Amino acid sequence: DLHAENFGTYMDAQGRLIFNVNDFDEAYVGPFTWDLKRFAASVALIGYAKALSDDQITELVRIYARAYRERIHALSTGAKNDEVPPFTLDTADGPLLGALRVARSLTRFGLLDSMTEIRDFERRFAPGGGSIELDAATRYKVLAAFDGYLETLPESSLTRPDSYRVKDVVGRRGIGIGSAGLPSYNILLEGNSDALENDVVIYIKQAQTPAVSRHITDAAVRGYFQHEGHRTVISQRALQAHADPWLGWTELDGAGQLVAEVSPYAVDLDWSDLDDPEEIASVVADLGRATAAMHAAADDDSGHSELVPFSTERAIDAAIAGDEDGFAGLLVDFAHSYGSRARADHQIFV
Protein backbone atom coordinates (compact mmCIF):
# COMPACT_ATOMS: atom_id res chain seq x y z
CA ASP A 1 0.00 0.00 0.00
CA LEU A 2 2.81 2.29 -1.02
CA HIS A 3 1.30 5.76 -0.95
CA ALA A 4 3.25 8.78 0.19
CA GLU A 5 1.72 8.87 3.68
CA ASN A 6 2.64 5.26 4.52
CA PHE A 7 6.22 6.22 5.33
CA GLY A 8 7.36 7.00 8.84
CA THR A 9 9.45 5.90 11.79
CA TYR A 10 9.66 2.68 13.74
CA MET A 11 12.09 1.17 16.23
CA ASP A 12 13.60 -2.04 14.94
CA ALA A 13 14.47 -5.18 16.90
CA GLN A 14 18.00 -3.85 17.46
CA GLY A 15 16.75 -0.68 19.13
CA ARG A 16 17.49 1.64 16.19
CA LEU A 17 15.01 4.25 15.01
CA ILE A 18 14.46 3.73 11.27
CA PHE A 19 12.58 5.78 8.69
CA ASN A 20 10.95 3.69 5.96
CA VAL A 21 7.63 2.18 4.90
CA ASN A 22 5.61 1.57 8.07
CA ASP A 23 2.24 0.09 7.02
CA PHE A 24 2.00 -3.47 5.68
CA ASP A 25 -1.71 -4.27 6.11
CA GLU A 26 -2.20 -4.49 2.31
CA ALA A 27 1.12 -6.17 1.47
CA TYR A 28 1.06 -9.09 -0.98
CA VAL A 29 3.22 -10.88 -3.55
CA GLY A 30 2.99 -9.11 -6.92
CA PRO A 31 4.79 -7.14 -9.65
CA PHE A 32 7.24 -4.58 -8.27
CA THR A 33 5.82 -1.90 -10.59
CA TRP A 34 2.50 -1.90 -8.68
CA ASP A 35 4.19 -0.32 -5.66
CA LEU A 36 5.90 2.28 -7.82
CA LYS A 37 2.70 3.16 -9.70
CA ARG A 38 0.81 3.46 -6.41
CA PHE A 39 3.41 5.85 -5.05
CA ALA A 40 3.55 7.89 -8.27
CA ALA A 41 -0.25 8.30 -8.22
CA SER A 42 -0.14 9.53 -4.62
CA VAL A 43 2.56 12.06 -5.59
CA ALA A 44 0.26 13.34 -8.32
CA LEU A 45 -2.60 13.76 -5.82
CA ILE A 46 -0.39 15.48 -3.24
CA GLY A 47 0.99 17.76 -5.97
CA TYR A 48 -2.54 18.61 -7.09
CA ALA A 49 -3.54 19.41 -3.50
CA LYS A 50 -0.50 21.70 -3.21
CA ALA A 51 -1.34 23.44 -6.53
CA LEU A 52 1.74 22.17 -8.33
CA SER A 53 1.64 22.17 -12.13
CA ASP A 54 1.45 18.99 -14.21
CA ASP A 55 5.05 19.62 -15.29
CA GLN A 56 6.18 19.87 -11.66
CA ILE A 57 4.36 16.62 -10.82
CA THR A 58 5.98 14.93 -13.82
CA GLU A 59 9.41 16.02 -12.60
CA LEU A 60 8.72 14.72 -9.07
CA VAL A 61 7.74 11.31 -10.42
CA ARG A 62 10.87 11.26 -12.60
CA ILE A 63 13.01 12.14 -9.56
CA TYR A 64 11.42 9.26 -7.63
CA ALA A 65 12.00 6.86 -10.54
CA ARG A 66 15.62 7.96 -10.93
CA ALA A 67 16.41 7.60 -7.22
CA TYR A 68 14.76 4.18 -7.11
CA ARG A 69 16.62 3.07 -10.24
CA GLU A 70 20.01 4.17 -8.92
CA ARG A 71 19.53 2.52 -5.53
CA ILE A 72 18.26 -0.77 -6.99
CA HIS A 73 21.25 -0.87 -9.35
CA ALA A 74 23.66 -0.22 -6.46
CA LEU A 75 22.08 -3.01 -4.41
CA SER A 76 22.02 -5.43 -7.37
CA THR A 77 25.74 -4.99 -7.98
CA GLY A 78 26.66 -6.09 -4.48
CA ALA A 79 26.62 -2.86 -2.47
CA LYS A 80 26.72 -3.79 1.21
CA ASN A 81 24.38 -2.39 3.85
CA ASP A 82 27.11 -0.13 5.22
CA GLU A 83 27.50 1.39 1.73
CA VAL A 84 23.73 1.85 1.37
CA PRO A 85 22.63 2.51 4.96
CA PRO A 86 18.99 2.79 6.10
CA PHE A 87 17.60 6.19 7.05
CA THR A 88 18.53 6.66 10.72
CA LEU A 89 19.34 9.58 13.04
CA ASP A 90 22.90 9.41 11.67
CA THR A 91 22.12 9.22 7.95
CA ALA A 92 18.82 11.03 7.31
CA ASP A 93 18.33 14.75 6.76
CA GLY A 94 15.51 17.20 6.09
CA PRO A 95 11.94 16.17 6.97
CA LEU A 96 12.99 12.51 7.38
CA LEU A 97 15.47 13.49 10.09
CA GLY A 98 12.79 15.73 11.60
CA ALA A 99 10.40 12.78 11.90
CA LEU A 100 13.14 10.63 13.48
CA ARG A 101 13.94 13.36 16.01
CA VAL A 102 10.28 13.70 16.96
CA ALA A 103 10.12 9.92 17.39
CA ARG A 104 13.20 10.01 19.59
CA SER A 105 11.59 12.64 21.83
CA LEU A 106 8.65 10.32 22.51
CA THR A 107 8.79 7.88 25.41
CA ARG A 108 7.22 4.61 26.48
CA PHE A 109 6.24 6.36 29.72
CA GLY A 110 4.28 8.96 27.77
CA LEU A 111 2.39 6.28 25.86
CA LEU A 112 1.62 4.31 29.04
CA ASP A 113 0.52 7.48 30.81
CA SER A 114 -2.02 8.16 28.03
CA MET A 115 -3.57 4.67 28.17
CA THR A 116 -3.11 3.28 31.67
CA GLU A 117 -3.09 4.05 35.39
CA ILE A 118 -1.55 2.46 38.47
CA ARG A 119 -4.01 0.83 40.87
CA ASP A 120 -2.93 -1.14 43.95
CA PHE A 121 0.73 -0.93 42.93
CA GLU A 122 0.06 -2.48 39.50
CA ARG A 123 -0.52 -0.92 36.10
CA ARG A 124 -3.94 -1.37 34.49
CA PHE A 125 -5.74 0.13 31.50
CA ALA A 126 -7.54 3.33 32.39
CA PRO A 127 -11.29 3.52 31.70
CA GLY A 128 -12.49 5.69 28.81
CA GLY A 129 -10.29 6.95 26.01
CA GLY A 130 -11.60 4.35 23.56
CA SER A 131 -11.08 1.30 25.79
CA ILE A 132 -13.99 -1.11 26.37
CA GLU A 133 -14.27 -3.44 29.35
CA LEU A 134 -14.65 -7.09 28.30
CA ASP A 135 -17.04 -9.69 29.66
CA ALA A 136 -15.52 -12.91 31.02
CA ALA A 137 -16.25 -15.00 27.90
CA THR A 138 -14.65 -12.49 25.52
CA ARG A 139 -11.64 -12.06 27.80
CA TYR A 140 -11.15 -15.83 27.83
CA LYS A 141 -11.26 -15.95 23.99
CA VAL A 142 -8.75 -13.11 23.66
CA LEU A 143 -6.33 -14.73 26.13
CA ALA A 144 -6.61 -18.04 24.25
CA ALA A 145 -5.77 -16.18 21.02
CA PHE A 146 -2.82 -14.56 22.85
CA ASP A 147 -1.49 -18.04 23.74
CA GLY A 148 -1.65 -18.94 20.04
CA TYR A 149 0.22 -15.73 19.16
CA LEU A 150 3.15 -16.65 21.43
CA GLU A 151 3.80 -19.71 19.27
CA THR A 152 4.37 -17.51 16.20
CA LEU A 153 7.16 -15.41 17.70
CA PRO A 154 10.80 -16.05 16.73
CA GLU A 155 13.02 -17.64 19.39
CA SER A 156 14.97 -14.39 19.74
CA SER A 157 11.84 -12.65 21.07
CA LEU A 158 11.26 -15.20 23.84
CA THR A 159 14.44 -14.74 25.85
CA ARG A 160 12.56 -13.50 28.95
CA PRO A 161 9.28 -15.42 29.40
CA ASP A 162 8.09 -13.01 32.11
CA SER A 163 7.88 -10.31 29.41
CA TYR A 164 4.65 -11.94 28.23
CA ARG A 165 2.84 -11.98 31.58
CA VAL A 166 -0.60 -10.44 30.96
CA LYS A 167 -1.62 -7.63 33.32
CA ASP A 168 -4.83 -6.43 31.69
CA VAL A 169 -6.99 -6.78 28.54
CA VAL A 170 -9.51 -4.37 27.01
CA GLY A 171 -11.40 -3.93 23.78
CA ARG A 172 -10.68 -0.78 21.82
CA ARG A 173 -12.40 1.51 19.35
CA GLY A 174 -11.40 4.45 17.20
CA ILE A 175 -8.62 2.78 15.21
CA GLY A 176 -7.70 3.26 11.53
CA ILE A 177 -10.17 3.61 8.66
CA GLY A 178 -9.30 0.20 7.20
CA SER A 179 -10.28 -1.55 10.45
CA ALA A 180 -13.28 0.59 11.34
CA GLY A 181 -16.08 -1.44 12.89
CA LEU A 182 -13.99 -4.56 13.46
CA PRO A 183 -13.32 -5.86 16.99
CA SER A 184 -9.80 -5.26 18.26
CA TYR A 185 -8.11 -5.55 21.62
CA ASN A 186 -5.22 -4.15 23.65
CA ILE A 187 -3.21 -6.33 26.03
CA LEU A 188 -0.92 -4.93 28.71
CA LEU A 189 2.23 -7.01 29.30
CA GLU A 190 5.03 -7.03 31.88
CA GLY A 191 7.77 -6.09 29.41
CA ASN A 192 11.48 -6.71 29.88
CA SER A 193 11.63 -5.90 33.60
CA ASP A 194 9.46 -5.53 36.72
CA ALA A 195 9.68 -1.74 36.47
CA LEU A 196 6.26 -0.29 35.73
CA GLU A 197 7.65 2.11 33.13
CA ASN A 198 8.79 -0.86 31.00
CA ASP A 199 5.32 -2.33 30.53
CA VAL A 200 4.34 -3.00 26.91
CA VAL A 201 0.98 -2.62 25.13
CA ILE A 202 0.26 -4.90 22.18
CA TYR A 203 -2.83 -4.92 19.98
CA ILE A 204 -4.77 -7.72 18.30
CA LYS A 205 -6.77 -6.67 15.25
CA GLN A 206 -8.50 -8.59 12.48
CA ALA A 207 -6.44 -8.54 9.29
CA GLN A 208 -8.21 -7.69 6.04
CA THR A 209 -8.02 -9.14 2.53
CA PRO A 210 -5.60 -7.00 0.49
CA ALA A 211 -7.12 -5.37 -2.59
CA VAL A 212 -4.40 -6.63 -4.95
CA SER A 213 -4.88 -10.29 -3.95
CA ARG A 214 -7.95 -10.39 -6.20
CA HIS A 215 -5.68 -9.83 -9.19
CA ILE A 216 -3.00 -12.43 -8.36
CA THR A 217 -3.95 -15.87 -9.65
CA ASP A 218 -0.77 -17.76 -8.72
CA ALA A 219 -1.92 -20.79 -6.70
CA ALA A 220 1.43 -21.05 -4.90
CA VAL A 221 0.99 -17.52 -3.54
CA ARG A 222 -2.63 -18.04 -2.54
CA GLY A 223 -1.83 -21.32 -0.82
CA TYR A 224 1.18 -20.09 1.12
CA PHE A 225 -0.65 -17.99 3.70
CA GLN A 226 -2.71 -19.56 6.50
CA HIS A 227 -4.90 -16.46 6.78
CA GLU A 228 -4.66 -12.67 6.42
CA GLY A 229 -2.94 -12.20 9.79
CA HIS A 230 -0.22 -14.67 8.76
CA ARG A 231 0.12 -12.89 5.39
CA THR A 232 0.51 -9.46 6.97
CA VAL A 233 3.21 -10.61 9.40
CA ILE A 234 5.17 -12.65 6.84
CA SER A 235 5.05 -9.68 4.45
CA GLN A 236 6.23 -7.23 7.09
CA ARG A 237 9.05 -9.49 8.25
CA ALA A 238 10.14 -9.90 4.63
CA LEU A 239 10.00 -6.21 3.74
CA GLN A 240 11.24 -4.66 6.98
CA ALA A 241 14.76 -5.45 8.14
CA HIS A 242 14.80 -6.31 11.89
CA ALA A 243 11.01 -5.98 12.28
CA ASP A 244 9.15 -5.36 15.55
CA PRO A 245 10.08 -8.25 17.92
CA TRP A 246 6.46 -8.32 19.19
CA LEU A 247 5.09 -8.91 15.67
CA GLY A 248 3.06 -12.13 15.29
CA TRP A 249 -0.30 -13.57 14.30
CA THR A 250 -3.15 -15.60 15.77
CA GLU A 251 -6.79 -16.57 15.17
CA LEU A 252 -9.90 -15.32 16.94
CA ASP A 253 -13.44 -16.43 16.10
CA GLY A 254 -12.07 -18.15 13.00
CA ALA A 255 -10.50 -14.99 11.56
CA GLY A 256 -6.78 -14.25 11.12
CA GLN A 257 -5.43 -11.58 13.46
CA LEU A 258 -2.39 -9.32 13.36
CA VAL A 259 -0.57 -8.79 16.67
CA ALA A 260 2.03 -6.05 17.19
CA GLU A 261 3.22 -3.50 19.72
CA VAL A 262 1.45 -0.19 20.17
CA SER A 263 4.71 1.64 19.57
CA PRO A 264 5.54 4.92 21.29
CA TYR A 265 8.04 5.66 18.51
CA ALA A 266 5.78 5.71 15.42
CA VAL A 267 5.74 9.08 13.64
CA ASP A 268 4.36 9.45 10.10
CA LEU A 269 5.93 11.77 7.56
CA ASP A 270 3.98 15.03 7.72
CA TRP A 271 3.30 16.40 4.23
CA SER A 272 1.25 19.36 5.47
CA ASP A 273 4.37 21.46 6.11
CA LEU A 274 6.08 20.42 2.87
CA ASP A 275 5.37 23.16 0.32
CA ASP A 276 8.75 24.15 -1.14
CA PRO A 277 9.16 22.27 -4.47
CA GLU A 278 12.88 21.68 -3.90
CA GLU A 279 12.27 20.20 -0.46
CA ILE A 280 9.45 18.01 -1.82
CA ALA A 281 11.81 16.82 -4.57
CA SER A 282 14.46 15.91 -1.99
CA VAL A 283 11.95 13.95 0.10
CA VAL A 284 10.57 12.13 -2.95
CA ALA A 285 14.11 11.08 -3.92
CA ASP A 286 14.71 9.72 -0.41
CA LEU A 287 11.45 7.78 -0.57
CA GLY A 288 12.57 6.29 -3.89
CA ARG A 289 15.74 5.04 -2.20
CA ALA A 290 13.74 3.69 0.75
CA THR A 291 11.40 1.83 -1.64
CA ALA A 292 14.37 0.21 -3.37
CA ALA A 293 15.83 -0.96 -0.06
CA MET A 294 12.48 -2.45 0.94
CA HIS A 295 12.13 -4.31 -2.37
CA ALA A 296 15.69 -5.62 -2.11
CA ALA A 297 14.93 -7.12 1.30
CA ALA A 298 11.93 -9.13 0.06
CA ASP A 299 13.64 -12.12 -1.53
CA ASP A 300 15.21 -15.49 -0.79
CA ASP A 301 17.30 -14.02 2.05
CA SER A 302 14.13 -13.00 3.95
CA GLY A 303 13.47 -16.62 4.97
CA HIS A 304 10.59 -17.24 2.57
CA SER A 305 12.45 -18.62 -0.44
CA GLU A 306 9.42 -20.69 -1.53
CA LEU A 307 7.62 -17.42 -2.37
CA VAL A 308 10.47 -15.45 -3.93
CA PRO A 309 13.32 -17.88 -4.75
CA PHE A 310 15.63 -15.32 -6.39
CA SER A 311 17.35 -11.99 -5.78
CA THR A 312 14.69 -9.31 -6.17
CA GLU A 313 17.15 -6.47 -6.65
CA ARG A 314 18.90 -8.28 -9.53
CA ALA A 315 15.58 -9.24 -11.15
CA ILE A 316 14.25 -5.67 -10.87
CA ASP A 317 17.53 -4.22 -12.15
CA ALA A 318 17.36 -6.50 -15.20
CA ALA A 319 13.68 -5.69 -15.82
CA ILE A 320 14.32 -1.94 -15.82
CA ALA A 321 17.45 -2.36 -17.94
CA GLY A 322 15.28 -4.05 -20.57
CA ASP A 323 13.45 -0.73 -21.12
CA GLU A 324 15.58 1.93 -19.47
CA ASP A 325 14.02 4.83 -21.39
CA GLY A 326 10.44 3.73 -20.78
CA PHE A 327 10.66 3.19 -17.01
CA ALA A 328 10.09 6.74 -15.76
CA GLY A 329 7.53 7.43 -18.51
CA LEU A 330 5.47 4.43 -17.39
CA LEU A 331 5.20 5.91 -13.89
CA VAL A 332 4.54 9.45 -15.13
CA ASP A 333 1.68 8.31 -17.40
CA PHE A 334 0.12 6.25 -14.63
CA ALA A 335 0.47 9.07 -12.08
CA HIS A 336 -1.46 11.55 -14.22
CA SER A 337 -4.14 9.15 -15.48
CA TYR A 338 -4.80 7.59 -12.08
CA GLY A 339 -4.63 10.98 -10.33
CA SER A 340 -7.29 12.28 -12.73
CA ARG A 341 -9.44 9.18 -12.12
CA ALA A 342 -9.13 9.51 -8.34
CA ARG A 343 -10.14 13.19 -8.43
CA ALA A 344 -13.17 12.36 -10.59
CA ASP A 345 -14.12 9.53 -8.22
CA HIS A 346 -13.85 11.92 -5.30
CA GLN A 347 -16.20 14.38 -6.99
CA ILE A 348 -18.72 11.57 -7.57
CA PHE A 349 -18.40 10.58 -3.91
CA VAL A 350 -18.91 14.15 -2.69
End-of-domain residue from the set 243, 261, 279:
261
Q: What is the pTM (predicted TM-score) of this model?
A: 0.90
- Is residue 168 in a domain? yes
The domain total for the chain is 2
* Average pLDDT over all residues of the chain: 90
End-of-domain residue from the set 261, 293, 321:
261
Residue 268: strand, helix, or coil: strand
| Rounded Cα gap, residues 325 and 323, in angstroms | 6
Same domain, yes or no: 196 and 329: no
Would you give the DSSP letter of residue 128? Answer: B
| Rounded Cα gap, residues 166 and 163, in angstroms | 9
- Is residue 1 in a domain? no
Per-residue pLDDT at 152 exceeds 90: yes
Same domain, yes or no: 16 and 79: yes
Range of the domain at 250: 108-261
Q: Residues 193, 210: contact at Cβ < 8 Å?
A: no
pLDDT, one tens digit per residue, over 288-307 is 999 999 998 887 555 666 78
Per-residue pLDDT at 231 exceeds 80: yes
- Is residue 36 in a domain? yes
Same domain, yes or no: 116 and 93: no
Same domain, yes or no: 273 and 255: no
Q: Residue 274 CA to chain centroid, in angstroms?
A: 22
End-of-domain residue from the set 261, 283, 315:
261
pLDDT, one tens digit per residue, over 123-137 is 999 998 788 999 999
Same domain, yes or no: 139 and 247: yes
Report the pLDDT averaged over residues 146-174: 86
Please give the full DSSP string across 162-208, using - where no structure is assigned. GGG-EEEEEEE----GGGTTS-EEEEEE--SSS-GGG-EEEEEEE--
Q: How confident is the model at residue 210 (pLDDT cuts 50, 70, 90)?
A: very high
